[in-house]
Each structure stands twice: as structure tokens, then as C-alpha cells.
Structure 1
Amino acid sequence: MLERWFWESGQKREAEMLGKMDRQVNKLTSLISDLLDVTKISSGKLEFNEEVFDFNKLIEETTEEISRISSQHEIVLELSSTCYINGDKERIGQVITNLVNNAIKYSPNADKIIISSKKEKGKICFNVKDFGIGVPADKLEKIFDQFYRIKNNNYHLSGLGLGLFISSEIITRQGGCIWVEPNIKEPGSTFYFSMPCNN
């Protein structure tokens, strides 16, 4: 709100500084949250508050929030028929956020990412397709390891390599699967996870 006031009043320098401070605070908050989650995972205290919810609605709500703070990438939604799933809505939303933010971060020269969902054989499958630096074939199995990060000499990418590890734990501990595949015809990667439908 204050940042917007600075922009509207013509104080560009102050608005940019405030925006930068806000982004740094968000990064620090996210880092602390990730470290707390890793501690809970290591000690077996990661808990889930299960409820039945509309999966596609969660995707729409989560990506709408991300779109507000990411102006560089268009988030394209290609959602098929939805299903209700029984799981921790907040935690699964956290996974969606992690995967989408990862797609944005690792495709700095792209202008869009594609988010899809598809219901089949009693499961709902979510995927995020980016057009970025991709995941080397020999690193596909390591990508969800704790503290693992893809190295690229052309870009400086922040982070500790915890988001995908935490996402994997959240999904697999609720009976789902998570994986990544390289794009065939374009650069980049597609991250997937699936969860059992409740209906």
C-alpha cells in the first residue's frame, strides 16, 4: 500500500527502494519458513490438517496470488475437469507455489509458464512447464534431494535448495507422487505431482 502511494505521488526512487526492501523481507521470511519445515521433517513432526477441497480452485487461487508479484511471466492455465482431494490444502498450496516460483526463477529469459491439470484413473495430475535452463538428464533423480541446486554459470540464482525437497516430502507423505521430465521440443523442464481423487 505504501509502495503504491509512492508511485502514485511520483516518488519513483522511494517506491523502488520500498519494493526492494519488501522483496528482501519476503525472501528472508520464506527462508526461515523452509528451515523450520526441514526441522519438522527431520524430527518427524511435519503435520497435516486434512480436508476435502476442490483442487483446480486451489490452483487458481494460488496462481492468482503469484501473478500479482510476477510481472515478467504470463501464467497460462490449462485446467481440465477438476476433482476433490483429501489433503492439507495449505501444504499442497505451498507445493504449487514452490513449483511455480521455481519455474519463474529458472526461466529468466522466458515470458510465460504453463500450468496444467488432468484427471485420470482416480488421480489428479498437476504440472508446471517452464522454458528455462532445464534439468540435466543425469540430475533428474537428485533434483528433490535436500540442499541440491542446479548450477548454471550464466545466471546467479538465489536459494538453498530446500523448496523441492520440502515439496517432495509434502506430496509423498500424503500418498502422492512428484517427478520432473525434460521438455522434448522446447528448452526447459516440466514438474509434475499427482494426488488421489476423493470422488
Structure 2
Amino acid sequence: MKTGKLSEAQFEIIREAQPAPIDPSETAAGSTVVGLLSSLDRNMLDEVMIEHRFGPGEIVVYEGQYGDIAYLIWSGRVAVVQGDFSRPASVNYRGPGEVVGEMSLIDNKPRSASIVALDDVRLLGIHRNDFFDLLQIDPNFSTNMMEILSRRLRAAEEMSRVNTAIGRELSAELQELQSENEALRQMEQRRQELSELVVHDLRNPLGNLFSALNMLELVLPPDVLDENRELLDIARLSHLRMQDLVDSLLDIAQFEAGRPMGERQPTNIATLMMEVAQLNAFALDKREMTLTENFPEDLPLVLADPNQIRRVITNLVDNAIKYSPKGGPLVVTAVRQGNMVEVSVIDEGPGVAIAERDHIFDRFAQVETGGIRPRGFGLGLSYCKLAVEAHSGRIWVETGPNGVGSCFVFTLPIVV
């Protein structure tokens, strides 16, 4: 007879679904089947019942194997496994006093399941011919044994019926979920199309605003311009921020759709930082903040779309200004780390709680930090994450130096 043993991994899979363990020393004494057998002549039983012992993980019989022997479990426990041992379709358990492989007593077809010892088990086996001999010797034994086997078969039939009904219900639920998923997909597609249409329509008034600001600077007398320079700077900065928001909305939709974005080229991070500092000069001045840039002269170029990465740095600097205390320092550094350049934006604000550090990069996420209510639409950091990851980089936030403030870090690949 073909024998074998499960690997440790296979045996663990089979054991995982096991109900509360039983004492392997428990025996079949007092069970219905044993009660029937005890009514027969002991010498006869010794002749037809063959004792088998198996250790944990040993395979008693294989699914698909032909056999004409059934087993009474005298002590220990076995698993009845259908399908591959590494990914079984079903696992059932039998304990002392139960019979396994009983269909072998009725037909001569391949076994429908494998039997695996879960403990040190003691089995009493009986072959088909010997079983039928026992049935002919004692009519009462024959009737009672057939009733036991009949109940087992009916229970199996009922379980099959229940499983079929459950299968139909699950199939109907799956179809319903698929329909709902398709409806949600169509709604998301329409929402995205509407969003893109709205954003595109915002470009025209923004362009008109930009033209109007330029025209005012051309036609207003110098003394009037000087008196209203701060208002014009606020209007110009607001226009730039609105333009950045519109571009971010469009780019986020493109990133999420997996479409290629921009043109990557050798890019100098220090040059981008200089442009960002100029754009944020007014905001820094209003907050009385100082911006320190730490960029080594030998910092390698990165392979990136300059416009996208400029916007990433702008968003991070803008966030740092927004959440930093008035007059606080703001530091931007860049260093080479292997084949990547690592850029850090460091502030002395209230910081970001550990539980929020992943969530803060989600689309439309707004996290209250240090009692400061968030402003805006929560798109800036979401854009940063999508843009950096589209460049094969990574972005995260950690606590600032000496446990103060926040340090937003992102990486970009260097030009090779």
C-alpha cells in the first residue's frame, strides 16, 4: 500500500482548521460501532480486524487510491482531506469510535478523500470480504451496522445539498457584487470625466486673471503701482496657487489612470529649489520665516520632469510654511543616497502623529495637526506621492530633528 507523510507546511495547513483538540488517549470504548463489535465473538474479531498505527502527519490512504478496507478509529484523531494537501478543497475530522473509508465496504471505486493522522492514532481495519462475512454471521449486527452506515450516507447527502444551496446563494451574491462594482466603475468614470471638464473650464478664467494682472502693471501709473504692490503680489500669488491646484487635479487623474506624464530629463534639484524659493518669498516674508537650503555642489542630476518635481517641492514648502510657527526656521536639504537623491523639507511645526503618517498622503485627506485645522482640499500631498512614485521614487514623513516638527522626505533616481 502506498504510504507517505506530509511536509511540515502541509501538516500545519491541515491542522489549522482543527476544532478544539482532544486527548489522543481517548478511545472508542463505549461507541455505537464498538458496542456492535463487542457483541460478536472475540476470536472472530481478532481474525478480521487488523490493527494499524500511524504517527502525526502520516497518510493512511490517498484520494483516488483504490481500496477495500475501512477503519475504525480506536484512539487519536484523523483528518479527511479532499484536494491537494497544500490547498485542500475541504478538511473534516474524525475521532475515536468513528469509521472512515466506509464507502470501500460498499463499492470498489477510487477513494473520494485522503486520510491523514493528526495524532498518534490506532486504527482497526476491516476488509470488504471480512465485513460481509460478519454481516452474514449475525442478522442483528448486519441490521444495526447498515443503519449506522445509512445515517452517515444521509448526513453526507444532506451536507452536499446544503453546500449546493450555499453555492447558489454565493453565486447570486457574487453576480450582484459584480453588477454593483460595474455601476461604481461607471460612476467613477463619469465623475472623473466631469472633474476633468470642470478643471479644463477653470483654465480660461485663470488665464484671463493672469492677463488682467499683467495689463494692470502695464497701464497703471508707477506711483499707483507702488502703493498697491502688495495687493498685486497677493493676487499674483493667489493666481499661481489656483493654477497649481488645477494642474494637480488634472495630473492626479492622469497618474491614477496610469497614463505617461511629462518628459523626464536631467534635472538640477538646486535650480528647482531656487525657483520655489522665489515663488514663496512673499509667504515667507509674511510669516517672518527664514528658508535655509543645504545642497552640496556635487549633488548629481536626477532624471525627472522638472515641472512635476518643482510642484512637489512647492507643495511641501507651502505645507511647512502653513504649519510652522511664525518666525520659525525652514530647512530644505538634498543628499545622495546610493543611486537616489534624497530631498528633505524640515520644519518646526507640531509634527504629524504616527497613526496619520500613511493616511496623510491619501487623496482629499485632511489631518488636524497640533490643533491646527487643515485648509485646502487635501490634494497637495496626494499629488506629491503620485508624482514621486511615478518617477520610481518614494515619499514619507518622519519626526524632525531632536523630536521637533516634521521632516518630509522624498527620493528620485539619479541620471546614470
Same fold (TM over 0.5): yes
Tell me the CA shift for residue 191 of structure 1: 0.4
Q: How many residues align?
A: 199
Any idea what the Cα deviations from partners look like across 1:110-166, whole Å, max 9, x if unmatched?
432001011131221100001112101111111111111121584444211111111
Distance 2:256 2:343 in 1: 27
User: For 1:47, which of 255, 261, 265 is the aligned residue?
Assistant: 261
Query: 2:354 aligns to what?
Result: 137
Helix, strand or coil at the partner of 2:262: coil
Query: 2:293 aligns to what?
Result: 77
Contact 1:56 1:83 in 2 (8 A): no
Distance 1:118 1:48 in 2: 25
Identify which range, 52-61 or 12-21, moves more after superposition: 12-21
Residue identity opposite 1:106 in structure 2: Y
Helix, strand or coil at the partner of 2:410: strand
Question: How do 1:26-37 residues align onto structure 2 when only pairs under 5 Å count?
Answer: 26-37=240-251
Query: 2:273 aligns to what?
Result: 59
Structure 1 residues 16 and 156: CA distance shift in structure 2, 3 A: farther
Tell me the CA shift for residue 32 of structure 1: 2.3
TM-score normalised by L of structure 1 = 0.84
Question: How do 1:1-199 residues align onto structure 2 when only pairs under 5 Å count?
Answer: 9=223, 14=228, 17-45=231-259, 47-71=261-285, 72=287, 73-80=289-296, 81-152=298-369, 154-199=371-416
Contact 1:34 1:162 in 2 (8 A): yes
Distance 1:49 1:106 in 2: 33
Any idea what the Cα deviations from partners look like across 1:16-55, whole Å, max 9, x if unmatched?
5545544444443333222222222333335121111222
Distance 1:65 1:140 in 2: 27
* Identical-pair percentage: 25
Structure 1 residues 186 and 9: CA distance shift in structure 2, 3 A: farther
Helix, strand or coil at the partner of 1:113: strand
Helix, strand or coil at the partner of 1:193: strand
Identify which range, 18-27 or 141-150, moves more after superposition: 18-27
Residue identity opposite 1:35 in structure 2: L
More helix by share: 2
Distance 1:11 1:155 in 2: 36
Tell me the CA shift for residue 107 of structure 1: 1.1
Identify which range, 175-184 or 22-31, moves more after superposition: 22-31
Any idea what the Cα deviations from partners look like across 1:35-81, whole Å, max 9, x if unmatched?
22222233333512111122222223332332255312211011123
Structure 1 residues 23 and 157: CA distance shift in structure 2, 3 A: farther
Structure 1 residues 110 and 190: CA distance shift in structure 2, 3 A: farther
RMSD: 2.9
Contact 1:37 1:46 in 2 (8 A): no
Structure 1 residues 64 and 19: CA distance shift in structure 2, 3 A: closer
Contact 2:290 2:327 in 1 (8 A): no
Tell me the CA shift for residue 179 of structure 1: 0.8
Residue identity opposite 2:350 in structure 1: I
Distance 2:357 2:232 in 1: 38
5+ residue gaps, structure 1, are: none
TM-score normalised by L of structure 2 = 0.43
Contact 1:110 1:131 in 2 (8 A): no
Which is bigger in relative contact order (C-alpha 8 A, separation at least 6)?
Answer: 1
Distance 2:225 2:275 in 1: 32
Please tell me whether Structure 1 or Structure 2 has the larger radius of gyration of its CA atoms. 2
Structure 1 residues 170 and 59: CA distance shift in structure 2, 3 A: same
